């Protein structure tokens, strides 16, 4: 079996959904996404963490232009692939309490976006990677623009301009690399083998960095994110934060650093400091938020900033932390946005100052909400603890002072997240919250699955770390050897 089965099932499902006009479209979309999950789980059981490429799909696409459909799975992309197939059915299940106009288009766009995301995460051809990058952008633009809030048009246009502009710089870098290869190819391994000067690598590095920094995002390229998350429908916020942000992190690990290692070494401090500044900035802004969904958006910037800092520190601890934390952050942020979707759907408000006492009328909701909050603040024995510990360890090994500043994300995050929980759930009920009803069976199932992952990965993270370790070690050694060789020739 090749990865092409995993890639094309959501594409075919998206096309099929366009022809279904009945109310059953959401159930059919869920079934398709569950079939994709089953396929992903099967491939996971067949995966051998030895650092090599597996489930490789190869086909000539436009061979005269050096473009091939080449995709595979290894320890670098297996985490975002797992995240994509795991979260999409959960996200679709969270939408069942909503009614959407043109529902067949809405669910088709979700599955079409999954296709684009998986293409990004598995592509080994630069042109194919770029196609996946743009394919993933198109559906989320329409999801936010058609089903978002009052300011959706202006906010979505800003998001589109930011991300599209960034991807153009990446395209220029890919074309430049294509022209430098003797065979004129987009093959990633031919890019790795290029012997570019420091100046050439610096331009390539800059092109990739702009695209990936916008998508993560890191300061000061983050300004599209809070508005987009706030105005997007809940499912759109989950897709953006849970999966799409990982495109930038993954792109830096797979493409930017290995292709331009010398430029990365020369400029490493700059993006690393920007990531750390973003952590502190977003955490401080989160304190002032009264809209619960917007607070989660700023929290996400801070947490993803720490992931970026860990991978940019470029050591085994930081990179392993980035890999596992991609999974952890995706699970938790989807849970948090679903929590706020439940609150806003029942109470018609996300204003924290209007809430309080919900735990008294909805104890089961209060319990799962608390577990997800504790996971997000990296309490020991929850999933984010091991990820953030590795990330901070990686940054500390690079620079102690950077680690001290970056560590503020845990302290500040614990304060504003626990304060949010207290203000929403504790105290006395009021005229707004007195009629809140506890979660339904389907909501218990969704939140229960999320809580189970938070606890299981927190207690026993070894299987996740074992999936990535051989590939991380190989990549780390390869890049470091190039850097050492360049330093010896200076």
Whether 84 maps to a domain, the answer reads yes
> Is there a single domain that holds both residue 216 and residue 253?
yes
Do the domain assignments include residue 471? Answer: no
**pLDDT on residue 334:** 94
Q: Establish if 148 belongs to a structural domain.
A: yes
Estimate to the nearest angstrom the gap between the alpha carbon of 167 and the chain centroid. Answer: 17
pTM passes above 0.85? yes
Together in a domain, 373 and 330? yes
> Do 282 and 234 share a structural domain?
no
**pLDDT recorded at residue 490:** 63
Overall domain count for the chain: 2
Which parts of the chain have pLDDT scores under 70?
A: 490
Residue 467 lies in a domain: no
State which of 233, 248, 267 marks the end of a domain. Answer: 267
> Does one domain contain both 154 and 181?
yes
Of 267, 302, 335, the residue at which a domain comes to its end is: 267
Find out whether 28 and 45 touch, Cβ atoms under 8 Å.
no
One domain, residues 275 and 211: no
Give pLDDT, residue 63.
87
pLDDT of residue 451: 96
215 and 356 both lie in a single domain: no
The answer to the question of residue 53 being in a domain is: yes
Range of the domain at 50: 1-267
pLDDT of residue 410: 83
CA 220 to CA 419: how far, in whole Å? 27
The residue from 242, 267, 292 where one domain ends is 267
Q: Are residues 238 and 345 in the same domain?
A: no
Same domain, 204 and 314: no
Tell whether 56 and 181 lie within a shared domain: yes
* Same domain? 277 vs 353: yes
Q: Does residue 476 belong to any structural domain of this protein?
A: no
Domain shared by 103 and 162, yes or no: yes
Residue 468 lies in a domain: no
Residue 488 lies in a domain: no
Are 274 and 176 contained in the same domain?
A: no
């Amino acid at each position: 079996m090749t990865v092409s089965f995993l890639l094309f099932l959501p594409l075919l499902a998206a096309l099929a959904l366009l022809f279904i006009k009945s109310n059953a479209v959401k159930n059919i979309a869920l079934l398709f996404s569950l079939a994709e999950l089953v396929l992903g789980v099967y491939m996971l059981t067949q995966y051998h963490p030895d650092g090599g490429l597996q489930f490789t799909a190869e086909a000539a696409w436009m061979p005269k232009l050096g473009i091939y459909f080449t995709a595979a799975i290894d320890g670098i992309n297996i985490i975002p692939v797992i995240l994509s197939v795991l979260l999409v059915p959960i996200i679709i299940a969270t939408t069942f309490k909503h009614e959407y106009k043109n529902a067949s288009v809405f669910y088709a766009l979700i599955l079409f976006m999954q296709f684009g995301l998986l293409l990004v995460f598995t592509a080994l051809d630069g042109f194919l990677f770029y196609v996946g990058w743009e394919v993933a952008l198109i559906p989320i633009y329409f999801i936010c623009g058609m089903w978002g809030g009052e300011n959706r048009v202006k906010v979505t246009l800003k998001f589109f301009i930011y991300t599209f502009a960034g991807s153009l710089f990446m395209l220029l870098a890919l074309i430049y690399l294509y022209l430098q290869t003797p065979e004129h190819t987009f093959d990633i391994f031919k890019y790795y083998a290029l012997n570019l000067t420091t100046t050439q690598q610096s331009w390539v590095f800059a092109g990739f960095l702009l695209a990936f920094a916008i998508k993560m995002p890191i300061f000061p390229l983050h300004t599209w994110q809070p508005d987009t998350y706030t105005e997007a429908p809940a499912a759109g916020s989950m897709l953006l934060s849970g999966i799409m942000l990982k495109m930038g992190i993954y792109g830096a690990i797979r493409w930017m650093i290995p292709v331009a290692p010398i430029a990365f070494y020369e400029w490493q401090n700059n993006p690393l400091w920007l990531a750390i500044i973003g952590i502190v900035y977003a955490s401080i802004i989160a304190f002032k938020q009264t809209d619960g969904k917007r607070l989660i958006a700023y929290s996400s910037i801070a947490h993803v900033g720490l992931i970026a800092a860990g991978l940019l520190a470029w050591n085994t601890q930081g990179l392993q932390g980035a890999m596992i934390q991609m999974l952890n952050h995706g699970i938790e942020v989807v849970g948090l946005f679903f929590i706020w979707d439940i609150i806003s759907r029942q109470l018609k408000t996300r204003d924290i100052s209007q809430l309080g006492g919900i735990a008294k009328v909805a104890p089961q909701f209060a319990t799962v909400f608390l577990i997800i909050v504790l996971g997000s603040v990296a309490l020991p024995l929850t999933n984010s603890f091991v990820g953030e510990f590795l990330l901070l360890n990686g940054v500390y090994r690079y620079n102690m002072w950077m680690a001290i500043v970056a560590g503020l994300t845990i302290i500040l995050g614990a304060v504003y997240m626990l304060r949010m929980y207290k203000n929403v759930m504790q105290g006395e009920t009021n005229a707004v919250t007195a009629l809140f009803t506890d979660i339904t069976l389907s909501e218990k199932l969704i939140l229960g699955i999320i809580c189970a992952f938070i606890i299981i990965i927190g207690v026993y993270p070894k299987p996740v770390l074992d999936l990535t370790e051989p590939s991380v070690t190989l990549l780390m050694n390869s890049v470091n050897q190039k850097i050492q060789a360049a330093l010896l020739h200076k």
